[in-house]
Every structure is written in C-alpha cells, then in structure tokens.
Structure 1
C-alpha cells in the first residue's frame, strides 16, 4: 500500500478543489462574513447566516494559514469573517445567536451552545494566526461561558418540562474534548486538564455502554438508560468522531491503553452502524432495533464518513491494528465513490440509503466549510505520518 499516494489524494482534493470552491463562492463582500447556502454549482440560494457555520469557516481558513501555508488570502478571508461576527454575532452577555440575516440582524436566539463552541475554536485559531490579543480574549471568555452553561446548555430556551424526564446529551462533552485542545496555551493548564478529565469520563464511562460496545446520544442525569426515543438513540457518526478526539488526548497524555480502547470502540461502532445491504454508515439507529424517531435515519451523510476515516487512520497509525486499515479501505472506497463532485467541485452532503444524491447542495443550514476540509487535512497529515513510519520517500510536494 502506497500511503504517500493516498496522502496526496486527500491533500490535492483539499487544496485544489474544496478550498477554492469556498473562496470563490462563499464571500459576502457587501456585508462581511460568509454565504454558506450554496447549490451544486456554488450559486447562493439563501442568504441567512448560520452562526456556527460562520465560525467554522473562520476556523478553517485560520487553521490552514497556521498549519499548511501562510497565504495572506486565507488569513484575510478569516479576519473579515471574524470582524463581522464580532460586530453582529452575539447578544450583550456574549452568547452567540444561532442565525442572522445577511446584514447581521439576529434571527434566532442563542439557544444552541454549539455556536459558542465554534466561536471559541475560531477565535483561538485566529489568535494563533494574527497574535491579536482581542481574539485570544474572546476565545477564553467564550470558553468560560460554555463551561458555566455545561449543566444546562440551552438555559431558558430548554423545551422539556423540568423534572419529568431529564436527560443529558453526548454532543457537548464530545466537543469539549476537542475544543480544549484547540485553545491550547490560552487556558490555564489545570483548567485544561480538569476539562479533559471531565470530558473523557463522560465519553468513555457515561455515554459509552460497555455491554453494547457503542455510545448512546442521551442518558439520564445519573448516567442510567432511558427506554425512550431519545434514550435509545444512537448516532454512529458522533461516536466515531469522538474517538479521534480521544486518541488525540491519549497521544497528548502518552496513554496507549486509552488509544487501544478508542480503537476498539471505533471498530465496534462501525460494525454496528454499517449498512450491510447498501454500504455506508447509517445516520440514526435505535439501540433496541425499534423504529427511529428521525425520518432521515437511513441517509448517508458526508460528515459521518469523513470523521470515520479520520478515526480509522489515527487508530491505524497508533496501533497498526489491521482492522483499522481494512475498514479504512472499505469506507474510503464508499466515500470517494459517492460524495465528491468531480463536475462542480466540493462534496455532496446527503445521500439516500442506496447511495444516490438526495440533495445536490454543497452548503446549507447544516453543511458548511468544515467537516470536509478538516477531514481532508487530518487524513492527509495522518497518512503522511503512517508513510514516515513505514519509511516511504516523501514527494516534492510534501517536502
């Protein structure tokens, strides 16, 4: 297996296809920020601005500037987005809205803490790129705001009736495991370590079900199982994504045992979520095999497959577990045969169960400039590390 050729495939798709697509089509020179609702050809079909997608794009171009090449075009693109969000993105208390008009007028209240999570990521990465202390301060302030809301992320916008069926969700502890590493030296080391400890415990001991080998999306406040729609819900993509976060933490802490656990969980979830009939990974499942509440349960989504590829490659790099490579080849083949659009660039996001394009959009309310470029970057760099381990020669483009 030529790992270097594979690395080049991911690198070239990132730098010659996906990033140029967003640079060309998502700019809003009149108002600032980004237009993310793009059809197959990259034409804008809606001008609402979804806050977490704005910050994801800021993060993406800042990250590329920091880690790939210091292209002024990338940095300028990120900075203008950040300045737009500084001006329009949050309420007086610093809580970031969910969506805004093209001009920056708030549309939907800050009910979703994930706007804050990606704001902290974006400002931290932009601080590294610019040295502008204001961005660093915004990242830390937003991170502390997230921690203050950790036990009640939706606050006054929580829809459920208090005290009847109180559940805790997997998404926030999962994201915090990655977010705390993104902020790096901006945080006090004790805060970093305590946040990691809490996140690891939640992911690996509370939401991970040892008897099933998979991760649930929701559990009761005491960690017990809730035999309800929400309690039975499994999102294989979330579990698979979280495992590469855990592997990065384990590498930071030099904990091979934790890496091994993460690899085993990755394989278990993938075997559970893989569609045996049509291929690809199912979006939602019911842990008891009952009809899922989500009507889109059988769709195949771009981000699920991309995050899976990252976890498999990191698992293979760290452990050389053949299961990781065998599954990587299988998921890689499915992904590259179904999601990239060779005619107009970028990737399709939504396939039906048979793997046919369901929606031809390249960006919308949920899909933006994030999972595809982040995943391509992570796979590219991890394949390079695997190649180095196997003493493959580097190409000119990699030197």
Structure 2
C-alpha cells in the first residue's frame, strides 16, 4: 500500500461520504412534517414506507453530530441532529418503563419494542455528540441514562417475555461488543467516568467466553458459561459481527497502548476472515456454521452491505497498527469487491442486499435495518485512518 494508493483510497472514502452518502440521506429521509427521519427508501430515494426505526433515528443523529464535532461545524448538520434528537425525546421512549421503542409510525406512535435494548445504546451516542456540540448538560444526562438502561436491561431484562425457556440459556456477542463501542463514544463525547471499566469488562468477557482457540473462531452465541451449544443456533457464526468487534478492540488497544488488545482484535479478524471470506465469489458471507455444516438460515450466503463495511475498516486498521502485508491485501480484496458490486453510480449510495455472486437481490437503499450508519461510519473511519497513514 504505497502513498498513491493511500491518497486514492482517502479520496474515495472522504468524497464518498461528503458528496454521495450524506447528501443522499439528507435529501430524501428528513421528515419536516412530523419530525425525525424516514429511512425506508427505494433506489432513487423515494419513500416506500413511512414507519420509522428507532435505531436509525438515533444512528443518523449520532452521525450528524459526529461530523459536526469532528469534520466541520456546519450548521445544517447540527440542525438536523437536533431535529433527530427532538423526535427521540418526544416519541421513542415508553413512558411506562423508560425503555425505548424499536419501531414507530411516521407520527411517532409505538408499534413494537424489542426484547433487547440496542435502541438505548444508539440514543446514548447520539445524545453524547449533541452534548459535545452544544455544551448543554441535559444531553450528557440523557446519554448517561440511556447507557445505563442499555446495560441494566441486557444484564437483567425486566418487563419482557423471554424468547426461550430456561432449558438452554444463552448469551450473545452483541451485548459486550456494543458495550465497548458505546462506552468508547461516550468517553470521547461526555468524558464518561465508567467507560474504561465497562470496556475492560466487556473485552474480558469476549476473550473468555466467545473466542475458541481450538476451533479458531469467534462464537456469536454461547451458553451462560461460554460453553459451545452444538445445535443450529449455537454453531452459527456471523463473521461480519465478529470482525466489527475485532476493530473495536484493536482501536481500544491503540488508544490505551495495549498491544495485547491489538493482537486480540487481529486474532478475531484473522479467524473471522478465514471463516467468512467467500473464496469462490469474493465478499464476506453472512452466516457460516462452526463445523462447516449446512446453515439453517436461508439467507446465509447472501452479501449484506454492513459486513463488507466492517471488513474494510478492520483490515485497514489492522494494517495501520501492525504493518503486516496480509492486512493490506485483505483490505484491497474487501474494498475492491464491495466497490465493484454495491454502489449505485446512477442514483447514489449503496444497495444493501446482494446474492452470493454479487447480483442485485433488492434495490432497497434503506429500511428498519439499513440507514446512514455502517456505510458512512466506514467512510469516516477509513478517511481518518488514512490521514494518519499519510503522516507516517
């Protein structure tokens, strides 16, 4: 990866973020009548469903605040972030228990709440950026409260019917992984005093319970004690998810001077790359079986946008931190495959869902799951990593 390649990649990520991804969403998703953002968009950006996913309200609010605080203090970005936060405040919390909804109508009427509490972690980082942007302590308080609801509910769920019986209790990689990145964001935005404690605890949990050196894999779901559950759900690996967690841990190791954490993140990336990279067609597979057996989920071999985004960040960061040539090679593979298949050069942004061989599966640009988060976060992170690499 020479200086010409670095400069070219930097332009791709920076210009893609500022001239394609962000304008696409700002032009098409902002709801000036009822507040918030309508994210269910067709290929050309036309709204095809007016319901609003709470994850996406908070995620876009975070992105706008992040850009305002760390790229350029554009008034439009702050105004839209405040617009998103107002919808969160007015419509996305259940007044009976303080937890957040997952899915609401255009007007903000509640449709459903999930058993897990990830709306809360996305709201926490959104409020954190607004505190940093405005200095208003109410946003810092909201960020702290949302984080506390997130961890409390995931550790001891209240007021929800369990999805499974207690015959085979499980725990997921998602909770410690999201705790790490949420605490990282709050540490930077509101100087959250408990951030390091939660990050250390979560990294320890992942290393102890989810990494299996004998199998060279990162589990998605394990028993309460970290044991492997040799059934469809227990054997299911999500390489993109593990790769996402890998770069969170690498990033923390870099910030704190913990080379052991950088190595841990690289190990997670290595195992998950070998499990998840599609040697036949390219790209990161969605699901694979721990033992190489058939997977139950019928979309297992599709190529979703977000695992490619996470692989692009993780491989670039690993190369930046270690200088190992394999990571530069993997980054080129991931970047080139994704940029060959996902972008829509005519209408802008990326498609979200491809078949295994790269053919388009759906022309959707957004829904309850896909919005302006993984993609612009990738572009922003890679732009900043490449800035550092140019200085070396």
User: Does TM-score exceed 0.5, indicating one fold?
Assistant: yes
Residue of structure 2 aligned with 1:42, choices 45, 64, 69: 45
**Which residue of structure 1 aligns with residue 35 of structure 2?**
32
CA deviations 1:342-372 (Å, max 9, x no partner) are: 1000011110011011111110121011011
Asked whether 1:150 is paired with 2:154, we answer: yes
Residue of structure 1 aligned with 2:119, choices 87, 90, 115: 115
CA deviations 1:21-66 (Å, max 9, x no partner) are: 0110001000000000000000000001010111001001111111
Partners of 1:146 and 1:85 in 2: CA distance:
15
Asked whether 1:293 is paired with 2:280, we answer: no
CA contact (8 A) 1:61 1:74 kept: yes
Asked whether 1:184 is paired with 2:187, we answer: yes
Partners of 2:241 and 2:372 in 1: CA distance:
18
CA deviations 1:287-309 (Å, max 9, x no partner) are: 11222121110000111011111
Shift of 1:280: 0.9
Partners of 2:114 and 2:311 in 1: CA distance:
30
After TM superposition, list the pairs within 5 Å mapping 1:22-171 onto structure 2: 22-92=25-95, 93-153=97-157, 156-161=160-165, 163-171=166-174
User: Which SS does the other structure have where 1:107 is aligned?
Assistant: strand
CA gap 1:341/1:49 in 2 versus in 1, 3 angstroms: same
TM-score by length of 2: 0.96
Asked whether 1:201 is paired with 2:204, we answer: yes
CA contact (8 A) 1:111 1:155 kept: no
Asked whether 1:253 is paired with 2:256, we answer: yes
Return 57-66 or 121-130, whichever deviates more.
121-130
CA contact (8 A) 1:79 1:126 kept: yes
Partners of 1:112 and 1:98 in 2: CA distance:
10
CA contact (8 A) 2:63 2:373 kept: yes
CA contact (8 A) 1:90 1:97 kept: yes
Runs of 5+ in structure 2 lacking a partner?
none
Asked whether 1:9 is paired with 2:12, we answer: yes
**Which residue of structure 2 aligns with residue 388 of structure 1?**
391
**Which residue of structure 2 aligns with residue 396 of structure 1?**
none
Partners of 2:16 and 2:360 in 1: CA distance:
20
Shift of 1:144: 1.2
CA contact (8 A) 1:112 1:154 kept: no
Partners of 1:329 and 1:68 in 2: CA distance:
26
Asked whether 1:230 is paired with 2:233, we answer: yes
Shift of 1:385: 1.0
Partners of 2:387 and 2:370 in 1: CA distance:
27
Partners of 1:67 and 1:101 in 2: CA distance:
32
CA gap 1:49/1:387 in 2 versus in 1, 3 angstroms: same
**Which residue of structure 2 aligns with residue 397 of structure 1?**
none
RMSD (Å) for aligned C-alpha atoms? 1.3
Partners of 2:128 and 2:328 in 1: CA distance:
33
Residue of structure 2 aligned with 1:277, choices 272, 275, 280: 280
Shift of 1:154: 7.3
CA contact (8 A) 2:221 2:233 kept: yes
Shift of 1:187: 5.5
Partners of 2:70 and 2:136 in 1: CA distance:
18
CA contact (8 A) 2:151 2:179 kept: no
Asked whether 1:317 is paired with 2:320, we answer: yes
Runs of 5+ in structure 1 lacking a partner?
390-399
CA gap 1:154/1:26 in 2 versus in 1, 3 angstroms: farther
Partners of 1:184 and 1:374 in 2: CA distance:
18
CA contact (8 A) 2:68 2:133 kept: yes
**Which residue of structure 1 aligns with residue 221 of structure 2?**
218
